[in-house]
Structure 1
Amino acid sequence: MIEETDLLKKLKQAEHKNSAFNELVAQYKERLYWHIRHIVKDHNDTDDVLQNTFIKIYKNINNFKGDSKLYSWMYRIATNESLTFISKRAKQLQISNEEAQNLAIKNLKADEYFEGDDIQLKLQQAIATLPEKQQLVFNMRYFQDMKYKDMSEILETSEGALKASYHIAIKKIETYILNLS
């Protein structure tokens, strides 16, 4: 596993860019896959968004200034690609983004790659009721155990605001699930 700084140097050198990019993909594809999957829900859609994310990373790596960690920058791209995907899907179906999310959750049971049970499905339904930012914060913290500092770089929001969003999201999810009982 190459250190981020060494990887970045190689990515910016024409003669090493392709091999360094292959290393970057190997190093980050699983984490980015799950980050995207928690947003778009469907495995096939996740694969498409992941591919678009890596294409964007490859094309724009020379524009990366190093103001944040490389992985934070990549997560920001993955997040934006995921949200753009949901918006495009909603537009195609002529429904709201929220309705598109709910449709994706309804289709989760049919997704051969979904390994969750009824409780996991209810959790996904509860998450879908949250505003977009709270969904992102909850998914990053709960499923990926991401630090607030890292989320702050990715979402370009203060740690305090993220902690508040996470706390509110938890309360809303608890209320949603309790009301199902």
Structure 2
Amino acid sequence: MITEETLVEELKHKESQAKAFEVLVNTYKERLYWHIRRIVLDHDDADDVLQNTFIKVYRNIDGFKGDSKLYSWMYRIATNESLTFLKQKSKKAGISDGELKTAMVEKLESDVYFEGDEIQLKLQKALATLPDKQKLVFNMKYYQDMKYEDISVALETSVGALKSSYHLAVKKIETYLKSN
């Protein structure tokens, strides 16, 4: 297996870039897809955002300084792409972010790619009630079991603020699940 440092170096050199990019996509596409999918909920939308994420990574790899792990940097790009996508989607539909979240969860019930049961659907409904940052922190910690330090890099927030956001998200989810 290639090290992250070697991969980054190969991505920055024209003669090795294509092969290195293929390795990058194959290594990270599934983790990034599920990160994006938990934000945008829809499979087709997640595929579109994932493609945009990899395009941005490819175009901006020279700007990656190595101050963080490569996947943390890519998660930040994927997160920003996902949130931008949702803002554009709500703007195009002429509805608020909250209305969009509600519509997305309702659509999830009929999504052939959604493999969850009733409990997971309830969890998605609870997550839709959270502010974006709390939802992101919860998803990254709960589903992806990321360390707070890595989430901190990806979301450009302090570890203390992340712990607080996660705690608040858990409390809100518990409250929602008890009342519904």
TM bucket normalised to smaller: over 0.9
Alignment identity in percent? 64
- Give the paired residue count: 180
Question: Can you list the C-alpha shifts for 1:77-122, whole angstroms capped at 9, x where unaligned?
Answer: 0000000000000000011122212211110111111000111011
- When normalised by structure 1's length, the TM-score is 0.98
Distance in 1, matches of 2:102 and 2:3, equals 39
* SS state at 1:66 partner: coil
What's 1:123 paired with? 123
What's 1:22 paired with? 22
Is 1:139 aligned to residue 139 of structure 2?
yes
What's 1:39 paired with? 39
What's 1:56 paired with? 56
Distance in 2, matches of 1:57 and 1:26, equals 14
Aligned residue type for 1:109: E
User: Where in structure 1 are there 5+ consecutive unaligned residues?
Assistant: none
Aligned residue type for 1:138: F
Q: Which moved more, 1:29-38 or 1:94-103?
A: 94-103
Distance in 1, matches of 2:15 and 2:174, equals 52
Question: Can you list the C-alpha shifts for 1:150-177, whole angstroms capped at 9, x where unaligned?
Answer: 0000011111110111011000000001
Distance in 2, matches of 1:112 and 1:141, equals 26
- When normalised by structure 2's length, the TM-score is 0.98
Distance in 2, matches of 1:105 and 1:2, equals 39
Structure 1 residue 22: deviation in Å?
0.3
Distance in 2, matches of 1:157 and 1:110, equals 35
Distance in 2, matches of 1:44 and 1:174, equals 30
Aligned residue type for 1:16: S
Aligned residue type for 2:41: K
User: Where in structure 2 are there 5+ consecutive unaligned residues?
Assistant: none
Distance in 1, matches of 2:98 and 2:41, equals 13
